[in-house]
Amino acid sequence: MASANKVHASQAIAGLKAGVPVVVDKPMGRTLKETKEIVDFSKQVNVPVTTYFNRKWDSDALTIKKIIKEGILGNIFRLDSRFERYRPELSPESWRENQTAIEGGGNLLDLQPHLVSTALDWFGPANLITASVRSLRGGSDDDVTLVLEHTSGVDSYLSVSSINAAPGPRIRITGDKGSLVINEIDPQEPLLKSGKFPKNGQWPESTKSEAFLHLGDKVISYPSIDGNYSLFYIQVKQALSGGAWPVTTDEALSVAEIIDKAREISFR
């Protein structure tokens, strides 16, 4: 089980100090400063570190990289990406819902790193244009919206909410020739919670999210790709033998910088 956000830095540095390559759950650090401390120490002792932006290996993420490469949507100019659900009552047992941001709680640190990391992966570097970070249930921040402007020309609207009774589609990507809509997240997380695991790097059953191509009044099914978190760990194994790391420290720093700025400029 992943450790709480408040001990990511201390545990990562302890592992690096022992000479052990480290995978840190997201976010790598609670702040940009804490993330830099981990990355700098990794360089100092020449022991690698990466972070678990596992949503890059969801079905939706892999499918999106496919459709971008194919160019079917034409000139893509907008991404809407969401993790929205309806939990009107705080869970007294959840540190994420009750700890302060300084302690590591809240959706800005819990789920927005997934949305930011995938948006940057798909559309490249971005500046944070606006942010709303607020608490509606009296605990840690539980309703967070960020807007990114990518240098590629795409605008990303990223929404995380624990108290949205009418959640929008998981993802909508829009270009001047059409939109791709994916309504639900793939089943990997429920499968893991049920005690099932990939075998030899592959899930024994489908892990696809249904995807639909919208062309005005015409809606057609688009062939999606199976999600597979094993690909992250396969790449970690390859990286230990000299290959590329699945998530670079530059990626972790870029996400941390946007998260920090969101708190600074939030108009809530």
Query: What are the extents of the domains in the chain?
Result: 5-52, 54-265
Question: pLDDT at position 267, please?
Answer: 85
Q: Per DSSP, what are the bridge partners of residue 155?
A: 78, 149
Please work out, in degrees rounded to the nearest 5, the angle formed at the alpha carbon of residue 72 by the alpha carbons of 80 and 224.
70
Q: What percent of the chain has pLDDT over 90?
A: 91
Q: How far apart are CA 114 and CA 55, in angstroms?
A: 6
133 in Cβ contact with 158 (< 8 Å): no
Cis peptide before 27 (omega within 30 of 0): yes
Q: In Å, how far are 19, 33, 196, 253 from 116, measured between CA atoms? A: 30, 18, 28, 12
pLDDT in tens, 221-250: 999 999 999 999 999 999 999 999 999 999
- Asked whether the predicted pLDDT for residue 68 surpasses 90, the reply is yes
Question: pLDDT at position 93, please?
Answer: 82
Question: pLDDT at position 268, please?
Answer: 78
Fold that domain 5-52 belongs to in CATH? Rossmann fold (3.40.50)
pTM for the full predicted model: 0.95
Domain spanning 54-265: CATH 3.40.630.10: no
Among residues 159, 115, 156, 114, the alpha carbon closest in space to that of 133 is found at 159
- Asked whether the predicted pLDDT for residue 91 surpasses 90, the reply is no
Q: How confident is the model at residue 95 (pLDDT cuts 50, 70, 90)?
A: confident
Question: pLDDT at position 182, please?
Answer: 98
pLDDT in tens, 40-59: 999 999 999 999 999 999 99
Q: How far apart are CA 208 and CA 187, in angstroms?
A: 7
Among residues 253, 258, 259, the alpha carbon closest in space to that of 50 is found at 253
Average pLDDT of the residues in 90-108: 87
Q: What is the overall mean pLDDT for the chain? A: 96
The position carrying tokens 């970070």 is 133
Q: In Å, how far are 110, 136, 163, 218, 222 from 89, measured between CA atoms? A: 18, 10, 9, 40, 37
